Amino acid sequence: MHQAPKVSLNNGVRIDQLGFGVYKVAAEDSTALVGTALDAGYRLVDTAALYDNEEGVGRAVRDAVAGGLDREDVFVTSKVWNDRHGFDSTLAAFDESMDRLGLDYLDLYLIHWPCPERDLYIPTYRALERLYHEGRVRAIGVSNFEPAHLERLLDATEVVPAVNQVELHPWLQQDRLRARHAELGIHTQAWSPLARGKLLADPVLASIAARHDRSVAQVVLRWHVQLGNLVIPKASSAARIRENLAVFDFALDDAELAAIAALDRGERTGSNPNAVN
Ligand SMILES: NC(=O)c1ccc[n+]([C@@H]2O[C@H](COP(=O)([O-])OP(=O)(O)OC[C@H]3O[C@@H](n4cnc5c(N)ncnc54)[C@H](OP(=O)(O)O)[C@@H]3O)[C@@H](O)[C@H]2O)c1
C-alpha cells in the first residue's frame, strides 16, 4: 500500500502531501468512495460545505476509526462557503459542518473564496482564528486568495494562514503566488491538480509518461510533489484512486521538469477568484 509523506505546516501540524478531493462526489457515494481512498492508503480528505457530502465523508472517517485507524492519522479539511462570510455567520457555519461531519475536531478549515466584493474575508478569518485558539481546528487557512487578498489579510489578522489552496496544474503554474507563499511560510495546496482531467492528452506529458512507464496523471502528480505542492486529486474508481497515490517511487529529471515548466499558459479550468462573490 502506498502512503503519502507528511510535511509540517507553519504551526508544526503535519499534513499529507497528497490527499483525496471530493468535489462533485455525490452525497450517496461519498462514504464508500472515501472508504476506498482510506483503504488505498490516503490519509487526507478535502471536502467543503459546498460539496454537500460532509456527512458521508465524516461517516467514512468514523467507520475507519471504528475499524482501528487512529483519528489522529486522518486529516480532514473543510471550508466555509461564500454565503456564510462574516464573524458570527462563519462560527455558525463551522458548527453546522462539524455536526454533519460528526467529528470532535477538524484538521484544517479554509475560507473557500475571498469574495472581494462582499469584503468580509477579514471578519471571516477572525472567526477562523477564534476556532483555532479554541482548539476546534488544528490549522486554518484560505483558498483562492490572490496576492492582494493575502497581503491585506496578513496586515489585519494575527495567525498566518497555514495553507492557500488554489487552482494549480501544468497549464496554470502560479509561480508568483508560490514564491510569495514560500516567503510567508504558507503551503501551496493545488486544487484541480490534473486540470480536471483536461491535460491528460497533452503530448509532452504523454511522452514523459511513456518514458517512465507511468500514466500521465501520475507524471503530473509527481511534478506537483517535486515542486513542493500539497495536492488533492479526485478520482471515481478504486483503480484511479490507487494509481494517483503511487507517485512516490519514481522521479522526474531536470529536463522533464523544464519541459513541464514550459507548458504554463495561464489557463484556468475554474473561476477567477476576483470574479467569485
Ligand atoms: N478550493 C476550491 O475552490 C476548489 C475548487 C475545485 C476543486 N477543489 C478540490 O480539489 C479537488 C481536485 O480537483 P478536481 O476534482 O476539480 O479536479 P482534478 O483532481 O484535477 O481532476 C479530477 C478529474 O480527473 C479525472 N482523473 C483523476 N485521476 C485520473 C487518472 N488517474 N486517470 C485519468 N483520469 C483521472 C477524474 O475522473 P473520474 O472522477 O471519472 O475518475 C476527474 O474527472 C476537488 O475534488 C476538491 O476537493 C477545490
| 3 three-class SS | coil
Residues 30 and 22: their CA atoms lie apart, in Å, by 8
pLDDT digits (tens, 9 = 90+) for 22-50: 999 999 999 999 999 999 999 999 999 99
Query: How many angstroms is it from 158 CA to the middle of ligand 1?
Result: 33
Q: What is the mean pLDDT of the chain?
A: 98
pLDDT band at 135 (very low <50, low <70, confident <90, very high): very high
pLDDT score at 165: 98
User: Are the C-beta atoms of 114 and 149 separated by less than 8 Å?
Assistant: yes
Query: How many angstroms is it from 24 CA to the middle of ligand 1?
Result: 9
Probe residue for ligand 1, chosen from 192, 214, 216 as the CB with the greatest number of ligand atoms within 8 Å: 192
Give the mean model confidence (pLDDT) for residues 180-186: 97
Q: Does residue 164 have a pLDDT over 90?
A: yes
pLDDT above 70: percentage of residues in the chain: 100
User: Are the C-beta atoms of 59 and 84 separated by less than 8 Å?
Assistant: no
**pTM for this one?**
0.98
Residue among 124, 117, 170 nearest 143 (CA): 124
Residues 89 and 84: their CA atoms lie apart, in Å, by 5
Query: How many angstroms is it from 126 CA to the middle of ligand 1?
Result: 30
pLDDT band at 269 (very low <50, low <70, confident <90, very high): very high
Q: Cite the beta strand spans of 65-217 per DSSP E.
A: 75-80, 106-111, 137-143, 163-167, 187-191
**Ligand 1 in contact with 189 (CB < 6 A)?**
no
pLDDT score at 243: 98
pLDDT band at 1 (very low <50, low <70, confident <90, very high): confident
Task: List the chain domain ranges.
Answer: 6-197+226-248
Give the mean model confidence (pLDDT) for residues 266-274: 95
pLDDT digits (tens, 9 = 90+) for 72-100: 999 999 999 999 999 999 999 999 999 99
Q: Does residue 123 have a pLDDT over 90?
A: yes
Q: Does residue 182 have a pLDDT over 90?
A: yes
User: Are the C-beta atoms of 166 and 190 separated by less than 8 Å?
Assistant: yes
**Ligand 1 in contact with 240 (CB < 6 A)?**
yes
**Ligand 1 in contact with 235 (CB < 6 A)?**
yes
Query: Phi, psi (5° rounding) for residue 20?
Result: -110, 120
Residues 250 and 260: their CA atoms lie apart, in Å, by 16
Residues 219 and 209: their CA atoms lie apart, in Å, by 6
CATH class of 6-197+226-248: alpha beta
Cell of 180: 510569495
pLDDT digits (tens, 9 = 90+) for 101-113: 999 999 999 999 9
CA angle at 53 for the pair 48 and 54, rounded to the nearest 5°: 60
